[in-house]
Amino acid sequence: MRTFSIIGKRIPKPDAIPKATGQIIYGHDVKVPRMLYGKILRSPLPHARILHIDTSRAERLPGVKAVITAKDLPPRRFGYGRDRTPLKGDKVRRCGDEVAAVAAIDEDIAEEALELIRVEYDPLPAVFDPQAALQPGAPLIHEDRQSNLFRHQEYVHGEPDRALEEADVIVEDEFDLGYVQPAPLETSFCLAAFDASGKLTIWSTTQIPFLLQKDLSEALGIPGRDIRVIQTAIGGSFGRGLDMYSFEPICVWLARKAGRPVRLAFTRQEEFAVSEARQSMRIWARAGAMRDGRLWVRDAKVLLDNGAYVSWGTVTTLVLMETIGSLYRVPHARVVYDSVYTNNPITGAVRGFGNPQGTFVVEVQMDRLAEAIGMDPLEFRLRNANRPFEETPQGIKITTCGLTECLEEAARRIGWSEKRAAPARHGVIARGVGIAATMNVGGGARIYRSDGCGCIVKVDDFGRVTVLTGATEIGQGSDVVVVQIVAEELGIRPEEITIVNDDTAVTPWDVGVHASRTTFIAGNAALRAARQVKAQILETAEELLGASAAELELRDGYVRIRETPEQRIPFDKVVRARHFRQGGQVIIGHGWYDPHNEMLGPDGKGNISATYGFGAQAVEVEVDVETGKVRPLRVVSAHDVGRAINPMYVEGQIEGGTVMGLGYALSEHLQVHEGRVLNLTPFDYRMPTIMDAPPIETVIIETDDPEGPFGAKGVGEMGTNPTAAAVANAIYNAIGVRINSLPITPEKVLRALRERSS
Amino acid sequence: MKYPLTLKVNGETYRLEVKPHRSLLEVLRDELDLTGTNDGCRTGNCGACTVLLDGAPIPSCLMLALDAEGHEITTIEALSAGGELHPLQRAFVQRGAIQCGYCTPGMILSAYALLRENPHPTEAEVRRALVGNLCRCTGYVKIIEAVLAAAEEMASAEVGSR
Ligand code: FES
Ligand code: FES
């Protein structure tokens, strides 16, 4: 057994104190001299031709410093589908499409200016149903495309058609999964400023600082080398910052036109109305099993509504495909999907990235299959659970895998056997328990050509270590993870480390924070950089202590001889000895880590991650059969995280993810009517409050991943993935009805109960 | 048109001129640079803008700055004014109750008001006191733990000082 001095400790994040005292600087707090306030005029219509825009009265309003429309911008497209311009010139394709923008000396004047802009629209027929959008003759959202189909893809392994005939039992369901918003507490923000030489600095809440350079450059024609991205402290993100939105290039262009810095921040209403939601999906799924308990086949057809433009979010189908094809051993599987344009709100990345949807389908049907063959659902899962070091037919090379332990632990702690045996019923209140598992990429995900991250570690004369990492801190604790890894390797205290993670001009490159990749990838990069520093320190210490590097260790701020630890020199003294000498050298280490994972082939196969995380959640719920209200009483969430570098924040990821999953299951729903979002406040959207959050017991299962930094795997999204399925299964256990549409509102529960009794 | 306003914040008196429709939140942030009070919705829904008005937590986005005259406002900056963290701040830091931190100042102030009224709250009482403060990151588990731990610490410090 390895023993650690820093790894595994519950150490607070370096930014925790400034956050507790109000000293931290979020985007919304940043002010620079001569800063203007930007605002965007948006389309009230879901689909319309723009006939004319008159900005003359806005331009004349005192205090207005810039007004722009599509005509002012270079005619360039951006985005995953290259299907949008920052401002729309010919037509609008969704409510909220950007039509004009202003910058003024204060927010009031900017708002007044928006009111003075006249836009003449010619409304076009719109389409809001993805199925209708695929019919011949449907209004075309993008006229340069043949149809509203963005992408059709099929994934197959085994022989699903034959398997469907062979299976002893088949279950079939239709799932309807609504929109949810990432809805971090801080709204979207950017601040753009040009210096006298024409170089751009942008302060941003992005998750992809280095790719944002590229995206901005693509949208505006500004060379990427002239763009510097500074990340402010970020008030949550959950996938929101994975794509560049139109407001960012708009803000930049306002700054260019006005010749002054411009700040643009969304109102909460804007955030709900126009920022990217989790894709709504309709899924038709069949699954089959053998009476002896073998899962035999899965077959799913997915219709994904992108909305008016596609983002990286459309790639969520790849994740969904993996969940359907590889969560549990399944010899035959097929996923067919269509991702479609409509005049609905745009969609994008949200924590889980297709996995919550896929897991809902898989895990609801696992329960149904178990019932059909008369087996306990837990046993059925254990029987078919993925095992360590096996390759799935999809080409996923599982290494460490604690799925069995997670299922067993979650079930045991929720009181599975007793409670399943006799679901409690007191008057109108029924109780039930449900379980669901998850598999998530835990060692990066090769979505882009690179999955890499860089790190630099340097040491000053006083032993203060500075770590420059490409990793983005969005609250999850990437900073403390990197600090703990470096501290462990160098035998120093975490307080002696300064972490810098917010400036593309300073930090080494990274593809961004997504796919639960940061602990694994940035952690490995940091470990490599720290090892170089350690080697340099040991090399110098060899001379000073007269022992070979192999005999030395770094511990408690000293370099010492392992066998005779009283022979030691302080860490900082070694550093100075290396600096202050004839022919001295600087102590600096750099690390780059890009895992040996693969991009998926056109057939959807390949080992997309260097390792995978597993987990299981058991939920106990209470259902009021008179009101239809579902109350989660308790959640046990067990996760194989490889090794918890900092258990406190591993728990934090799981607890926060679980409550987000509960929101998805029971309350959160972006209500969209004819392309317009109706619920624009956290209250109307029904974001979970402290009253909605049940006690959550987190169980950390450590499997010591051979590739992970000190054995760690990623964890960020795992808590969210299985929750909705576990809740739906618990509801079934309590009242015997299945609800396949999210969120499971009281109305749906009552309707299902009525239908069953009639 | 601006109106004169005398505002008492964290024990200091400020003489300002503000437009009549400015909220207390905007004046605290924009005029006094007290950016620890966060702006999350401006509709009274999220609690990120919580401050204490004569000791009671309110969403500062819903109060007109002019209406705050004659009252004592406390913001998060006051809690560690002596250079030392308040036990609530310490508990939030040490127990992992802070992730992105955007909700934190509001959470701490609501909890501070609770503990002044009720030094030994139950978990249910903590939940009730924080119902107006949304957190999107933590799932609330560690926030509740932190408030209960701070209550305990403050109570034992009290006993010790007697
Ligand atoms: S900003 Fe005041 S409650 Fe949200
Ligand atoms: S810590 Fe992010 S909202 Fe609470």
User: What's the A350 CA to ligand 1 centre distance in angstroms?
Assistant: 23
Helix axes A518-545, A571-579, angle to 10 degrees: 70
Closest-CA residue, ligand 2 atom 3, reads B135
What is the distance in A from the centroid of ligand 2 to the CA of A184? 8
Cα–Cα distance for residue pair B91/B85, rounded to 1 Å = 9
A682 vs B46, B105, B141: nearest CB? B46
A608 in the same domain as A474: no
Yes or no: say if A287 and A295 are a contact pair by the CB < 8 Å rule: yes
- Across B132-156, average pLDDT: 97
Task: Inspect the interface and report whether the beta carbons of B93 and A184 lie closer than 8 Å.
Answer: no
Distance CA A119, CA A758 (A): 53
Query: Which residues of chain B neighbour A263 with C-beta distances below 8 Å?
Result: none
Nearest to A291 by CA among A359, A361, A383, A364: A383
Residue B60: CATH number of its domain: 3.10.20.30
Q: Which two tokens stand for residue A126?
A: 């719109």
Which residues from A are below 8 Å from B143, CB to CB? 690
Distance B37 CA to ligand 1 centre (A): 10
Tell me, what's the pLDDT at A321? 94
Q: The domain that contains B141 carries what CATH number?
A: 1.10.150.120
Which residue's CA is the closest to the ligand 2 atom numbered 2?
A: B100
Nearest CA in chain A to B131: A690
Which of B78, B98, B116 represents a domain boundary (last residue)? B78
pLDDT above 60 (res A376)? yes
- Could you report the predicted ipTM of this complex, rounded to two decimals? 0.98
From residue A127, give the alpha-carbon distance in Å to each of A134, A200, A348, A461.
10, 39, 19, 65
Nearest Cα neighbor of A445 from A364, A386, A521, A350 is A521
CB-based contact B80 A21, cutoff 8 Å: yes
Burial (0-12, 13-18, 19+ Cβ within 10 Å), A548: exposed
- Per-residue pLDDT at B162: 56
- State which residue of chain B sits closest to A28, comparing Cα positions: B39
Tell me which of B38, B95, B99 to substitute to probe ligand 2's pocket, judged by most ligand atoms within 8 Å of the beta carbon: B99
Q: Are residues A98 and A193 in the same domain?
A: yes
Put simply, the answer to whether B35 touches A25 (Cβ < 8 Å) is yes
Claim to verify: residue B71 and residue B99 sit in the same structural domain: no
Q: For chain A, what is the domain count?
A: 3
Q: Which atom of ligand 1 is nearest to the CA of B44?
A: 3
Say if residue A411 is in the same domain as residue A329. yes
Closest listed ligand to the CA of A182: 2
Pocket test for ligand 1, best of B27, B28, B43 (most atoms within 8 A of CB): B43
Give A723's contacts in chain B (Cβ within 8 Å). Answer: none
Q: A651 with A574, same domain?
A: no
Residues of A in contact with B43 (CB under 8 A): 268, 681, 683
Amino acid at A301: K
- Expressed in angstroms and rounded, the spacing between residue B48 Cα and the centre of ligand 1 is 5
Please give the distance, rounded to the nearest whole angstrom, from the Cα atom of residue B45 to the centre of ligand 1: 5
Q: Which residues line ligand 2 (CB under 6 A)?
A: A 185, 236, 475; B 98-103, 135-138
Query: Is the omega angle on the peptide bond into residue A423 within 30 degrees of 0, that is, cis?
Result: no
Cα of A24 vs centre of ligand 2, distance in Å, is 13
What residues in B contact A476, CB-CB < 8 Å? 99, 137
Q: What is the 3-state secondary structure (H, E, C) of A263-275?
A: EEECCHHHHHHHC
Half-sphere exposure of B19 (CA within 13 A, CB side): 10
Cβ neighbours of residue B136 closer than 8 Å, sequence gap 6 or more:
A183, A184, A185, A236, A238, A656, A660, A687, B100, B103
Write the CATH number for A85.
3.90.1170.50
A16, B48: Cβ pair inside 8 Å?
Answer: no
- Last residue of one domain, picked from the residues B45, B78, B111: B78
Q: Is the domain of A202 the same as that of A247?
A: yes
CATH code of the domain containing A571: 3.30.365.10
Partner-chain contact B102 A649, CB within 8 Å:
no
Same domain, B123 and B93: yes
Q: Which amino acid is at A534?
A: K
Question: Which residue of A185, A207, A698 to mutate against B (max B Cβ within 10 Å)?
Answer: A185
- Tell me which residue of A415, A446, A397, A488 sits closest to A635, measured CA to CA: A415
A56 pLDDT above the threshold of 80: yes
Average pLDDT across chain B, whole number: 96
Instruction: Find out whether A513 and A240 touch, Cβ atoms under 8 Å.
Output: no
Long-range contacts at B77-83 (CB < 8 A, ≥ 24 apart): B77/A21, B77/A22, B77/B10, B77/B34, B77/B36, B78/B10, B78/B11, B79/A21, B79/B108, B79/B109, B79/B112, B80/A20, B80/A21, B81/B10
> Which domain, by its residues, includes B23?
3-78
Residue A349 lies inside a defined structural domain of this protein: yes
pLDDT band, residue A698 (cuts 50/70/90): very high
Contact A704, A300 (CB under 8 A): no
Q: Which of B78, B101, B126 is the last residue of a domain?
A: B78
pLDDT at A297: 98
Query: How is residue A398 annotated by DSSP?
Result: -
Q: Which stretch of DSSP H or E encloses residue A460?
A: none
Angle at A36 between CA A32 and CA A38, to 5 degrees: 125
Write the pLDDT tens digit of every residue in A570-589: 999 999 999 999 999 999 99
Under a CB-based contact definition with an 8 Å cutoff, are residues A530 and A489 in contact?
Answer: yes
Nearest CA to ligand 2 atom 4: B135
Taking 60 as the threshold, does the pLDDT of residue A39 lie above it? Answer: yes
Distance from CA of B130 to the nearest CA of A (A): 7
- Ligand 1 centroid – CA B23 distance (Å): 11
| Cα→Cα distances B67→B7, B32, B36, Å | 10, 17, 21
| Last residue of one domain, picked from the residues A571, A593, A615 | A593
Atom 3 in ligand 1: which residue has the minimum CA distance? B44
* HSE of A518, CA atoms in CB hemisphere, 13 A: 25
| pLDDT tens string A294-321 | 999 999 999 999 999 999 988 898 999 9
User: Is A294 in the same domain as A323?
Assistant: yes
Same domain, A288 and A425: yes
Q: Searching chain A, which residue's CA lies closest to the CA of residue B92?
A: A20
The angle formed by the CA atoms of residues B139, B143 and B144, to the nearest 5 degrees, is 100
The answer to whether residues A335 and A316 belong to one domain is yes
Residues B20 and B60 in one domain: yes
**Residue A416 belongs to some domain of the structure:** yes
The ligand 1 atom at the shortest distance from the C-alpha of residue B47 is 3
pLDDT tens profile A593-648: 999 999 999 899 999 999 999 999 999 999 999 999 999 999 999 999 999 999 99
Please tell me the predicted confidence (pLDDT) of residue A224: 96
The secondary structure of chain A in percent helix, strand, coil, rounded to multiples of 5, reads 30, 25, 40
Among A559, A578, A593, the domain boundary falls at A593
Residue range A130-139: mean pLDDT, rounded:
97
What does residue A206 show for φ and ψ, rounded to 5 degrees? -65, 160
Give the contacts of A712 (CB within 8 A, at least 6 positions apart).
Answer: A481, A519, A520, A523, A641, A642, A643, A644, A645, A705
User: What does the pLDDT look like over A204-242, one tens digit per residue?
Assistant: 999 999 999 999 999 999 999 999 999 999 999 999 999
Mean pLDDT of chain A: 96
**Which chain B residues are within 8 Å of A26, Cβ to Cβ?**
35, 38, 102
Name the residue among A20, A184, A651 with its Cβ closest to that of B136: A184
How far B7 CA lies from chain A's nearest CA (Å)?
20
* Nearest residue in chain B measured CA to CA from A187: B40
Residue B154 and residue B96 share a domain: yes
Confidence of residue B83 (pLDDT cuts 50, 70, 90): confident
Chains A and B form CB pairs within 8 A to the count of 170
A471, A482 contact by CB (below 8 A): yes
Total number of domains constituting chain B: 2
pLDDT of residue B161: 60
Domain-terminating residue out of A274, A295, A323: A274
B10 and B73 in a common domain: yes
* B70 and B91 inside one domain: no
Q: Both A296 and A440 in a single domain?
A: yes
Q: Give the model's confidence band at A424: pLDDT under 50 very low, under 70 low, under 90 confident, else very high.
A: confident
Residues B156 and B91 in one domain: yes
User: Are B68 and B115 in a shared domain?
Assistant: no
Residues 6 or more apart in contact with residue A403 via CB below 8 angstroms: A385, A386, A387, A437, A439, A614, A615, A616, A640
Range of the domain at A631: 280-445+600-757
In a domain, residue A474? The reply is: yes
- Ligand 2 atom at minimal distance to the Cα of residue A185: 3
Chain B residue at shortest CA distance from A688: B134
A343-364 pLDDT tens trace: 999 999 999 999 999 999 999 9
A220 lies in the same domain as A302: no
Mutate to test the pocket of ligand 1, among B28, B45, B58, B134 (most ligand atoms within 8 A of CB): B45
pLDDT at A758: 83
A238 contacts on B by Cβ (under 8 Å): 136
Whole-number Å distance, alpha carbon A43 to ligand 1 midpoint, is 26
Residues A730, A671 share a domain: yes
The verdict on residue A162 lying in a domain is no
> Residues lining ligand 1, CB < 6 A?
B 39-42, 44-49, 59, 61
Residues 6+ apart with CB under 8 A from A144: none
Please write the tens of the pLDDT for every residue from A267-296.
Answer: 999 999 999 999 899 999 999 999 999 999
In a domain, A494, yes or no: yes
Whether residues A572 and A606 fall in one domain = no
CA distance A338 to A355: 17
- Do B18 and B66 sit in the same domain of this protein? yes
Query: A498: part of which helix (H) or strand (E)?
Result: strand A497-500
How close, in Å, is residue A610 to chain B by CA atoms? 27
Please check whether residue A179 is in contact with residue A670, taking contact to mean a CB–CB distance below 8 angstroms.
yes
